[in-house]
Amino acid sequence: MGILLSIHILAGSVALVSAALAFSTEKGKKFHVLIGKAYFWSMVIIFLTALPMSIITGNVFLFLIAIFSFYLAFSGMRFAKNRTGVPTLVDLIAVNFMLLSGIGMWILAIIFFIDNDSQFITLIVFGFLALFLGYGDFQTFKNQTAIGKERIAKHLTNKMGGTIAVVTAVLVVNPPSNPEWVWWILPTFLITPVIFWWNKNCLLYTSPSPRDGLLSRMPSSA
């Protein structure tokens, strides 16, 4: 358990640093892509260590948060790589896990509320995000519209969503004060407006790659 936790913390540190570097470098350039890969694989390690820790400790809360966080990193990577707009079976399976995690969080929120555990507030917020983002991605997959600027927006939104989870994990290790749920949702309320601002303003000046239009007319091999 101690080894898993150490690896988990190290991967979280790498994810946090690489996320900051990715957001501060020019999109599409070699360094940005390299940092993005470092971010993704660190999130994979976070996921693969969080799952057994949640099972060993019987922590359903951690189990659901792990699925939520990894989906955002995974789908962010997929939107970056798949320029055709056509989802693969893996994409559809992943988004269904995201939706199930949201439902699971709301069910667990009811249990926490009955037990007078204030963390039910965290579960309501994260459950809403899981269902909102998951349903949005499901509709995008259904309509095959993830090309051009929408693809870029999806990549940005989900990668930043994954970063919210990493920042949250850092804050809640030793929350400065009670109630604890405040520190769980604080990064969400602070970073979410940045996501909306970035999508609304920055993407106005983003030119989609010509490959988006070309590949959207070809069968997906992603």
Do 186 and 165 touch, CB atoms closer than 8 A? no
CA dihedral 73, 74, 76, 78 (to 10 degrees): 160
- Is residue 222 domain-resident? no
Rounded to whole angstroms, the Cα distance separating 222 from 208 reads: 18
Give pLDDT, residue 180: 78
Give pLDDT, residue 20: 85
- Is residue 220 domain-resident? no
Query: Of the candidates 159, 146, 149, which has an alpha carbon nearest to the alpha carbon of residue 74?
Result: 159
pLDDT at 218 over 60: no
- 220 band by pLDDT with thresholds 50, 70 and 90: very low
pLDDT at 217 over 60: no
3-state SS assignment for residue 158? helix
pLDDT at 212 over 70: no
How big is the CA angle at 29 (ends 24 and 33), to the nearest 5 degrees? 80
End-to-end CA distance of the chain, in Å?
Answer: 36
- Is residue 147 domain-resident? yes
- Is residue 82 domain-resident? yes
Cis peptide before 187 (omega within 30 of 0): no
- Is residue 58 domain-resident? yes
- Is residue 221 domain-resident? no
| Structure tokens given for 142 | 């259904």
3-state SS assignment for residue 154? helix
User: CA-based Rg of the chain, rounded to a whole angstrom?
Assistant: 17
Could you report the per-residue pLDDT of 83-126, keeping only the tens digit for each? 998 999 999 999 999 999 999 999 999 999 999 998 899 999 99
- 208 band by pLDDT with thresholds 50, 70 and 90: low
Domain count along the chain: 1
- 209 band by pLDDT with thresholds 50, 70 and 90: low
| Structure tokens given for 166 | 């990493």
- Is residue 60 domain-resident? yes
The DSSP result for 36-75, as a single string, is HHHHHHHHHHHHHHHHHHHHHHT-HHHHHHHHHHHHHHHH
Query: Of the candidates 134, 63, 121, which has an alpha carbon nearest to the alpha carbon of residue 94?
Result: 134
Rounded to whole angstroms, the Cα distance separating 181 from 89 reads: 36
| Stretch 185-207: mean pLDDT | 72
Can you give the residue range of the structural domain that contains 62? 2-215
Rounded to whole angstroms, the Cα distance separating 71 from 67 reads: 6
- 127 band by pLDDT with thresholds 50, 70 and 90: very high
